Chain A
Amino acid sequence: MSEALAMTDAITDSLLAVRNLNGWYDESHVLHGINFDVRPGEVVTLLGRNGAGKTTTLRAIMGILGKRQGSVRFDGRELIGLEPRHIAQAGIAFCPEERGIFSSLSVDENLMLPPQVKPGGLTREAVLDMFPNLRERLGSQGTKLSGGEQQMLAIGRILRTGAKFLLLDEPTEGLAPVIVQQIGRTLSQLKSQGFTIVLVEQNFRFAASVADRHYVVEQGRVIDTIPNEDLAANMNKLHAYLGV
């Protein structure tokens, strides 16, 4: 733990700095002091077993967790205590683990739902070029799409908002390998366009292919930090952490 802290403390130019983040569901204390940093343009992952607190961390950053304490600084501004909509307007976009495609909206309506919060978002056309499958299904009910298409829609719609900081919760979960590859290419493309991404993943082979740095989450704490270039040397440790 002190090792993790020492490493995060070394980062001074973060776009997102999470410090001693605590979070609760009702009475149940789930996050016990999460610390990590994300620099502009980086892709950073949160790795960890099921139930470690990765989703809860994203929810706490987004402000949709009932109770949270500590500090989340984004672009120099403290987010703890802000309403979710103000956090979104600050330029953070969230793609939830369950994807959150609306069944009472068509694919097109789902795509156009999130309002623009900053100038410079992708156009509808650019999103459809990125995910051509969606173009043929624009009139369908959102939840009639396949799992992979729903994931593309969930990512695509937040790219329109102009937010350049993305929180993606397990975008490859349960998807076929070709779709996982397509999403991997998309993330690399987004990174090269200057997006900053926090990626929650269980699939660390996928994580290794896109990320700059990995934070290992266990029982509501960040217990280790592994730069992507050190990943191979740390495989044994990582297997132990993830129990795979």
Chain B
Amino acid sequence: MFELLGIPPQALFGQLLLGLINGSFYALLSLGLAVIFGLLNIINFSHGAQYMMGAFVAWMLLTYTGINYWWALLIVPLVVGATGVVIERLMISRLYHLDHLYGLLLTFGLALIIQGLFRNQYGVSGLPYSIPAELSGGTNLGFMFLPNYRGWVIVASVVVCFATWFAIEKTRLGAYLRAATENPTLVGAFGINVPRMITLTYGFGVALAALAGVLAAPIYSVNPNMGADLIIVVFAVVVIGGMGSILGAILTGFGLGIVEGLTRVFYPEGSAVVIFVIMAIVLLVKPAGLFGRTQ
């Protein structure tokens, strides 16, 4: 059948795999954006820079202290998430009584500053981060050759996305978060510390971005611009999925990665723009996004 269409199966599966890898990053990043947007009502424009910080902190840990990839998966989200906590406490929290636009401008400015600092220090040529030995090499699946690290990225992303979804939709802590997203005033009047919840939620969203950065480090070169390039697509993903929907962010992330991969097979010229074309159509047909609820 593939031969009929003139497409070798290896190329199809190869692009599907690439699509799933990209989709893994779209899903992790748009999930963090959705969690933050849900409770804070701001679009976190620093998200790409925080993803880049994740990759850089992993690189620094390895280069300066010898701390390996596996520890980095744990330490980096904590460290970068903590910077998010500080940013929320010191800056973002002062803007909640103003229009959402101010939060957007602040986080956009922060992104430019963070990227500028890393560019000054490390240049833009990119730094290598090698695949951990345990995950080097690949596996022959019969129909295709799967590099182990790429398989790991997909599995890790699915697990983290599912765990986040579970924590938000199925646990008591998640019920607090959902309630505060709906009506923070009433949740506060029940005696719950809503400001602290907001701070921790921002820290968590940032930690997700940083985790994605660690996962990305061995695949893409560690580069100050890596977040800025990716985040534009992720914003389109978020618009398509609908702001604030957790499951929507995850499914749209993986789905659009696959759509992008398939486009690269069947109509390569369109692969760079297909997500933006879908975004335009969704905006026209269902402005709240595929999974969004109209307010």
Contacts and interface: CB of A to CB of B under 8 A. Distances in A.
B57 interface: no
Contact of A85 (B172, B179, B181, B191): B191
Interface stretch (A96-104, A174-182, A231-239): A96-104
Contacts of B182: 102-104
A16 B270 CA distance: 69
Interface residues of A, number: 25
B8 to A, nearest CB: 47
Given A84-B185, A96-B186, A112-B172, A102 B191 contact: no
A15 B186 CA distance: 23
Given A85-B194, A100-B183, A113 B176 contact: yes
A85 B191 CA distance: 4
Given A62-B189, A64-B189, A105 B175 contact: yes
Contacts of A63: 189
A113 B189 contact: no
B183 to A, nearest CB: 6
Interface string B164-196: 000000001001101101110111111111100
Contacts of B181: 104
Interface in A116-135: 117
B189 A102 contact: no
B191 A115 contact: yes
Interface string A87-117: 1110001101000101111000100111101
A10 B178 CA distance: 46
A103 B172 CA distance: 15
A112 B175 contact: yes
A161 interface: yes
A9 interface: no
A83 interface: yes
Given A100-B183, A102-B183, A88 B191 contact: yes
B190 A64 contact: no
Contacts of B178: 102, 104-105
A123 B190 CA distance: 17
Contacts of A93: 190
Contacts of A83: 188
Interface in A177-200: none
B293 to A, nearest CB: 9
Given A88-B191, A102-B178, 6 more contacts: A85-B191, A85-B192, A94-B189, A104-B179, A109-B172, A115-B191
11 contacts: A83-B188, A85-B190, A85-B192, A87-B189, A94-B189, A102-B178, A102-B183, A105-B175, A109-B172, A112-B172, A115-B192
Interface of B: 172, 175-176, 178-179, 181-183, 185-194
